[in-house]
Amino acid sequence: MGVVKSDLEAVIQEVRSAASHLRGADAESWATRLDRDHDRIEQALDWLLKNEPTSGLELALALPDYWHLRGRWAEGTDWLERFLAAISTPSPTLRCRAVSNISGLAFRLGENEKARQFGNEALEIARRLGDKPLIVGALTRLARVGLRDNNPRQTMILCREALALAEEAGDEELSLSPLHCLAEATRMDGDYEGARQLYRRSLDLNRKRGDELVIGVETSNLGAVELRFGNIDAAIRLWRESFALAHRTENRYLLPYPVAGLGEAAAAKGDWDRAARLLGAASGLFKTSGAAMDPADVAAYEQAVAGTRARLSDAFARAWSSGESMTVDEIASFI
């Protein structure tokens, strides 16, 4: 392809500018700009891969938050792996950042062994460099792997090490990801009150930053905890709030979770047809995105599906299929 130098520089500048805004209050407007220029970004990455792969990898490493917001995990993994293959000797810091992000993207796709492999490599490099932010990032990647291994205690150990390093560095922002993972592990370990307090702390910190992605995530997670306590109406309010945020911001990662939660709440109320439709709708959203459900949410979802299927018997398949085929706007009207 022929790339005009001025156009390439404009794309690079736009992506770099967006990177610092994709976890804040104006994340959606910046993500929309990247949506609009997605083809140009792909062309720039392709040209850099063939001509300046190190610069291309640096550009790709400005995009993981965008890939997460838009559910482009496979796309992101592919670019990062292609750039690494094209660079004979990337700097240790650059390789560490790349493999750490591949680990995070692989986790979202349910590729746990790949996430573990790249997470371990990232941690080894980061420890050798003595770079606290990179160590915290790698520890948190491996903590997520522990969740998918159904080993919440191991996740807690890794998260607490990461939180201690963030405290040593005096960096509150650095503590946010391990704090979230610690809350997830605490919920999986059955300590719902402890999880509630950790989720609330994470929610408060992310509200200060205006990070709508995590605000929506933790709101949904608090819904799951409230349902565990039998507070069905409170859970429904939280899940509706989370869904409204996900729908408004077109957050492909978040969208399925409040829908699944509302299905679980309908099952808890014995509204079986509604439960089947919403649980099916969540399944459809996961299939569309290609993401694997987060480990802390799997057991409650599967229990609700099994209970609903048993109650509806032959009518289950029809209601499930109806929900699974719903568009996001149809789901919004239904809930």
For tokens 């609700």, what's the residue? 304
Q: Which residues, including other chains, have CB under 8 Å from residue 96's CB and lie 6 or more apart? A: 121, 122, 125, 126, 129, 131, 134, 138
Q: Per residue in 146-155, pLDDT tens?
A: 999 999 999 9
d(CA 28, CA 254): 13
Work out the pLDDT band at 1, boundaries 50, 70, 90: very low
d(CA 135, CA 169): 12
Contact 147, 185 (CB under 8 A): yes
Contact 189, 160 (CB under 8 A): no
d(CA 203, CA 301): 23
Q: Per residue in 259-311, pLDDT tens?
A: 999 999 999 999 999 999 999 999 999 999 999 999 999 999 999 999 999 99
pTM (two decimals): 0.92
Tell me phi and psi for residue 280, to 5 degrees. -65, -40
d(CA 46, CA 83): 10
Sketch the domain layout of the chain as residue ranges.
Answer: 1-90, 109-189, 198-335
* Interior/surface letters 25-55, b for 16+ CB within 10 angstroms, e for the rest: eebbebbebbeebeebbebbbebbbeeebbe
Q: What is the mean pLDDT of residues 115-128?
A: 98
> Token digits for 59?
């550009």
d(CA 135, CA 238): 33
Q: Which residues, including other chains, have CB under 8 Å from residue 312's CB and lie 6 or more apart? A: 272, 273, 276, 319
**307 class by beta-carbon count within 10 Å (0-12 exposed, 13-18 middle, 19+ buried):** middle
How high is the pLDDT of residue 315? 97
Q: Per residue in 182-191, pLDDT tens?
A: 999 999 999 9
Mean residue pLDDT of the chain comes to: 96
Sign of CA dihedral 271, 299, 109, 201: positive
Q: Per residue in 14-55, pLDDT tens?
A: 999 999 888 877 888 999 999 999 999 999 999 999 999 999
Other C-beta atoms lying within 10 Å of the C-beta of residue 211: 22
How high is the pLDDT of residue 168? 95
Contact 30, 18 (CB under 8 A): yes
Of the candidate CATH numbers 1.10.30, 3.30.70, 1.10.10, 1.25.40, the domain formed by 198-335 belongs to 1.25.40
